[in-house]
A and B are shown apart, each in its own frame.
Chain A
Amino acid sequence: QSVLTQPPSVSGAPGQRVTISCTGSSSNIGAGYDVHWYQQLPGTAPKLLIYGNSNRPSGVPDRFSGSKSGTSASLAITGLQAEDEADYYCQSYDSSLSGSLVFGGGTKLTVL
């Protein structure tokens, strides 16, 4: 059971827009901790996609965007492309117990 909750899967046709939600609580996202997103293509290491809720590292297309509100965050992908098919993870910090970096369980994006 992950501390952050993501849908197990989402799908969309090429060119469409999809969103992936990441729901937390008052001890993590709701406490003001930033949310970051990673993309993991099949058989590869994770890659930073969004940091600090809505910032894109150099080289990440502007088709990817992030937002945060209250105890949740979202990753939006517009103009869906076949190469976007991957697992996506949200990450934040949780201050409960002794504190820990926490992840969502991951969302498998399928491009139809």
Chain B
Amino acid sequence: EVQLVESGGGLVQPGRSLRLSCTASGFTFGDYAMSWFRQAPGKGLEWVGFIRSKAYGGTTEYAASVKGRFTISRDDSKSIAYLQMNSLKTEDTAVYYCTRAPVVAVEAGWFDPWGQGTLVTVSS
């Protein structure tokens, strides 16, 4: 069974950093692009960023709202994708979801499955 499990969420003060992990199982992790999304409490879905597989350079794309503050990376040997979040703001408070991207091009991207999500609360 294909499964994604996020971890690392919690309460963090504005301006601080946090790293989320997404542990994958049930598929060959290194063959797939991965993406992160978030959902603020009571709000809709928002794309955060995308990382291609190593076969396509492992390059990344980010939403304008997080570019320069967030970094996505991957460790194919451990089947883990990471979301490093720096200079956190109160508006970054959300449930963060990890997803698998069955396509290479982000502009064609659809995402399946989704992890259960991990809550990040940015507050003093």
| A residues apposed to B, CB below 8 Å | 2, 33-34, 36, 38, 44-48, 51-52, 57, 89, 91, 93, 95, 97-106
Contacts and interface: CB of A to CB of B under 8 A. Distances in A.
Interface in B56-79: 61, 63-64
A97 B110 CA distance: 21
B117 A89 contact: no
Contact of B44 (A47, A98, A100, A105): A105
B113 interface: yes
A101 B47 contact: yes
A70 to B, nearest CB: 19
Interface of B: 35, 37, 44-47, 50, 61, 63-64, 97, 106-117
Contacts of A101: 35, 47, 50, 63, 106, 109
B110 A52 contact: yes
Contacts of B116: 44-45
B114 A34 contact: no
Nearest to A44: B116
A96 to B, nearest CB: 11
Contact of B115 (A34, A45, A100, A102): A45
Q: Which residue, of B61, B107, B115, B116, has the highest number of chain A Cβ atoms within 10 A?
A: B107
B110 A103 contact: no
Nearest to A101: B47
A33 to B, nearest CB: 6
Contact of B110 (A2, A48, A100): A48
A93 B45 contact: no
Contact of A99 (B35, B46, B107): B107
B24 to A, nearest CB: 15
B48 to A, nearest CB: 9
B97 A100 contact: no
Given A34-B108, A100-B64, A101-B106, A45 B45 contact: no
